[in-house]
Amino acid sequence: MEKVKFSVSGMSCQHCVMAVESALNAVDGVKKAKVKLSPGEAIVSYDETKTSVEVLKAAVREQGYQA
């Protein structure tokens, strides 16, 4: 299990936070994703044999935010 923290920008309210958090939690291999608004960041525990930081960041970008 790996744990990563990366910044997420473009979020402006709690709704954005929930959107990013659900997108991350929906990625196969993610155990737990926690997203904070200020500063904008995501902390994700994941199985490194199933996913990668690049896949996680892509899931954030798909929601319209920058990672």
Q: Which stretch binds Cu ion (CB under 5 A): 14-22, 23-31, 33-41, 51-59?
A: 14-22
β-strand partners of 52: none
Q: Which residue has the tokens 């608004």?
A: 37
Confirm or reject binding of residue 13 to Cu ion (CB under 5 A).
Answer: yes
Q: Beta-carbon neighbour count of residue 36 at 10 Å?
A: 15
Confirm or reject binding of residue 12 to Cu ion (CB under 5 A).
Answer: yes
CA distance 33 to 20: 9
Beta carbon of residue 13, minimum distance to Cu ion (angstroms, whole number): 3
Which residues of the chain form contacts with Cu ion (CB under 5 A)?
12-13, 15-16
